[in-house]
Amino acid sequence: MKKYYFGAIALAMMLFAACGDDGDEDSGTLYDTDITVSLNNFYSTYNYNDTYHDINVTDDYRTFHSEHDLYIQTRVLFYNSNGVLVDSLIKYTTNINEVNISKGLPAGKYTVVTTLTFADKTSGDDASWWWLADKQKLSTAKMNVRNRFSKWSIMSYAATEVNIVSGQRSTIRLNPRPVGALGYLFFQNFQYKNESTYGTVADNNIRALCVYGRNVAVSYRLDPDASDHYIYMDDAGGSYWYFLSDKLEPSDFDSSWTYFKSNLYDYFYILSPNPEIFFGYVPKGSSSFTGYGQKNVTISSGNTYLAYWDYFQVGNPYFGVANNNQWHTYSQARAAEPGQHYSVIDESTPRAYRFSMFK
């Protein structure tokens, strides 16, 4: 009888060990795992050089540490076959050399997720331009952008499935790719009434400028099997409009309100794959934006998009892939015409403003 009893125990132990190799995590022994994360594609595709205005969009990226004291934060998350977080790690670097890490993991099947973001290391792990939320389960884990107006808000992402086998050393290679695009904004000639006043002080009665739109995404789901990776501002209300760029307003004018200090450029991050874009300005004496140039666009991650608006061509601003082919020349002045009006109705979310269309 004892012989059969011990035989049953041995058989059960063999079956348990076999299950461990097939994907059910063995919480006891840890097996060496070598993880390599490539950083080559983090910002290399945002390489637009505005030759017309002599502005190189990627200059700051190349000097992100030496001039801005920023780091690249590499985050790696390990989810077991049940989609539960079992381990994670963070590493900071000052260059785009690949990151090599060794980790001990129990045998089993895992989904390994990695993200690359810019961060201020001195402020701790949550200093990234994105923060990780609801991380304990892969089905709920997401990255939330802290400041979508900043060129530092770019992110790259990758996920893969691996099987850690008992008694074997494993190798994981990850090559994160850009998520979303960079918007490069240039407003030109807003300090003049028309072409005939070029070079003189002339108030054209414009008091604020911006780019805004609908379908603005602010979070990205990390589950590679998610049906929709994007989480939008005010998902329940499709009629709301939000600023995509910072508003350019009184501080950008001189004290006499007569003209902008200079032609204005800025950056903003575009996470949404299909945003609806609108240019807008606020006339003197109004609190509402007058909109021009509405269009639906399809964003290709990793590209730089130009939002170009010239006051002398005020009815025809450009939004599209940046390629130095959009700058205008003039034969006659172009005056502003009546447009569609929007008003700010909710400023409860910091740096995220909501619009409602006048009926």
The model's pTM is: 0.81
What's the confidence (pLDDT) of residue 252?
A: 54
What's the confidence (pLDDT) of residue 338?
A: 37
Residue ranges in the chain whose pLDDT is less than 70? 1-27, 122-126, 191-203, 235-239, 250-262, 313-315, 329-359
What's the confidence (pLDDT) of residue 197?
A: 64
Q: Is 67 exposed, middle or buried (0-12, 13-18, 19+ CB in 10 A)?
A: exposed
What's the confidence (pLDDT) of residue 53?
A: 84
Please write the tens of the pLDDT for every residue from 22-38: 344 555 788 899 999 99
What's the confidence (pLDDT) of residue 93?
A: 94
What's the confidence (pLDDT) of residue 71?
A: 94
What's the confidence (pLDDT) of residue 133?
A: 96
Assign domain 28-179 to its CATH architecture: Sandwich (2.60)
What's the confidence (pLDDT) of residue 349?
A: 31
> Where along the chain do its domains lie?
28-179, 181-357
Q: Is 277 exposed, middle or buried (0-12, 13-18, 19+ CB in 10 A)?
A: buried
